[in-house]
Structure 1
């Protein structure tokens, strides 16, 4: 079994004080080819990830090919839920990590962990995640917030990620690992955000509130 890269024997969990969220090519044109998960579900998860970053003061970078490309604009869920998100556009490179300005932008956050989701799991996500690991980052790939054409495509992507030590993770786990503790600032906002992508969490929400909602 592959060992998570760059953790130096530490448990591979998200440190909300030392992480940056990166959305790669989450663009309207790119998502038109997505089969799994469904686009509405995918957008909901991206919105939840963006919101938890905003509530927890985590830097966000949304990168995309130029606005007039076939891939279209970045979906609005990111800026709507994380107004502080930095938008980065690149033109010539096929893969964003080949853009030196982008690499420097990520470096300038001063964070050693990256939580990443891509419009295409096998291209946008895998390439950026692999390159980030090789640059020394601890990388978490949010697979259920990244689009795929088939389950086989997703399975192949997971194998490639694990081979180099990227940590596969789901959106709900990201939200919980960022929150960590109960009785924190914005606790109910965090609970509400979690139940937006995990309807079963409604039961815990009701228990916390002591009422139905």
Structure 2
């Protein structure tokens, strides 16, 4: 990741590096490389940030497909989706919240 990123910045490009998608042999190597590329002008991101920027909004026809992608990449995201869906059902059906029962 470091060499192509730094070279692209030197060539005048605005460079984003997806840090958690770049393999390394140790946490220390990752931290040193991250510091190095940031000093060179690279903008660090993670997979969630990339997906969010590509998606841009949940107010879109393919929102369910995006939700499925998130649950594949981040398994715990399924809990958030289920919680949101339940909250929407509560509002729509006039149900009492679990905390008020």
The TM-score with structure 1 as length reference comes to 0.38
Matched, 1:192 2:68: yes
Q: CA deviation at 1:209?
A: 4.6
CA distance in 2, matches of 1:173, 1:135: 25
Matched, 1:172 2:48: yes
Cα deviation, 1:161-196, whole Å, max 9, x if unaligned, reads: 111110111101111121111121421111111121
- Which structure's residues are more often strand, by fraction? 1
Cα deviation, 1:87-114, whole Å, max 9, x if unaligned, reads: xxxxxxxxxxxxxxxxxxxxxxxxxxxx
Count residues with an aligned counterpart. 86
CA distance in 1, matches of 2:64, 2:76: 16
Matched, 1:156 2:69: no
Aligned alpha-carbon RMSD (Å): 1.5
Name the residue aligned to 2:91: none
Stretches of structure 1 that go unaligned for 5 or more consecutive residues are: 1-124
Stretches of structure 2 that go unaligned for 5 or more consecutive residues are: 87-101
CA distance in 1, matches of 2:42, 2:5: 7
3-state SS in 2 of match to 1:199 = coil
Q: Equivalent of 1:181, from 21, 35, 57? A: 57
The TM-score with structure 2 as length reference comes to 0.75
3-state SS in 2 of match to 1:168 = strand
Higher RCO (CA < 8 A, seq sep 6+): 1
- Which contiguous aligned blocks of 4+ residues in structure 1 show a shift greater than 6 angstroms? none
